Structure 1
């Protein structure tokens, strides 16, 4: 089934690798869905660090229309998996990497990478801008915490990079699950924000964190560590995990340079479990997107259980400004773009 749709659409295109100014709006053909996919009328989308690297030409895969996530309504679905008009979210499945992404009025996504946010014909529990802050951050955070890390009530969790969008999502979910969270941020001025979200403790992010924790009397190691700063700090973070504890690497706020001179024999404690999660696997048989309770997370946000408000909402024509915010490190949480053209 399909709705009456235009033959063209507006899309934000990477005209050349480089600065945010290289993101330009162009008129392009409307994408055509095929069996196993659905066309989504995009109402809003989140801004992610991956898209900054794609724009710069630093990502292994990218296409001119970027964007790895969106929320909107189903416009056409040849296989009938979703009724037209259903409010949905889509995450990954090649969006922005191998197929045109969400920086547009419409996109075509694999049905395995689409989840309904409400029943057909019903309004979702949140507005589009608020919904757009959830899919990538909360799907990744939930999977890291409850699949890779197996987080349980009462466990001590360290989140490095907790004021990022992913870090805040993980903090919300972990506190709601009864974990005791220590959160790091580069700015001491953000301690109050983290504590308001439920962090039991906040620490300045930076080199020498294990030593600084010991010097301040916080010598006990953690049951779980969620590493979002990345390759530059993960070896250090491994020293902060208890025996039988777990560390999950899932973010690269510190850059994409590889880990240098890592020798597990000398630098990794025995009995520590080290894993990785990348959201590009969502939609694969081993990582179904349906595994993540995104609709219930949406309801929890609507009920005020989580503070998941976007840090800043931009209009479609302001995407360059949004990327400049990200480039300058001015974002403190999730930035979203509403598709109002």
Structure 2
């Protein structure tokens, strides 16, 4: 039966409308790749970090009331050198350029990779198997090849994909978070200036093209200034104040837990780990008298999050960001695991490199 001309018009109009919608969708700009954790895809606040701003402690009354990046302050270099003099420096490369250090504290222990960020030293994000982070059709975190990639930090640092021309890889720590069935880091990832994933719902460690270290929540536009960046959380230290799950407002040396309002879906579990003496990972940043940044990659054992944050502050750090904890916590120095313990494979590590020429 041949349809009449009058009955053909609705069909023709529908076809045209479908074509126009498809064309419009095809010309839309690509959205930043973000984790598919609930709050990450429904951020009510604007993309944080249009400009660095600092909120005074008196204004802190709960989560998400602090924006921008932590502001460089304090006599970081003096505190750092005093702390180093009282610690067990295992190896010093380049007269203080990079130091692998151990320190016993009351009831616990620290392992530290301390480096000055200058033309001789830098960090780089290393992904398991050299894989590239991406997202699936739902925007969920994955790897661009669709496979699963997890390795121990020791496996990553001794693999060919971790090599860099004219640079030596001295050490690394695990960083970032993942969950089944993802295996890819759910936070922001920038490698060599290329933004591979943007997640403004999580705090991020950024090393700028000028080798300045920053911690904050970054929009996809802000990430253009990062040479390397990796997301983590929670924030342990912010403008020298220590995150404390037991306070609701700024009190003395403390500020509330999760001050940047990061979109953790298991916040109570994060608090449990933070308050407990599980192994922990953190990246702390400070300022040298020269105006250059120094970076501390720390792993702690038998210490609470408050204990770890206080040690980093004593070193001269004004901000610190947590990484994954417990069996994910692992440090490697010159290809060897620094502490004999069972560790699990992870998606990414922060590698410390020194130039050889």
- Return the TM-score normalized by structure 1: 0.25
Q: Which has the larger radius of gyration?
A: 2
Q: Which has the higher contact order (CA 8 A, sep 6+)?
A: 2
- TM-score of the superposed pair, with normalisation by structure 2: 0.24
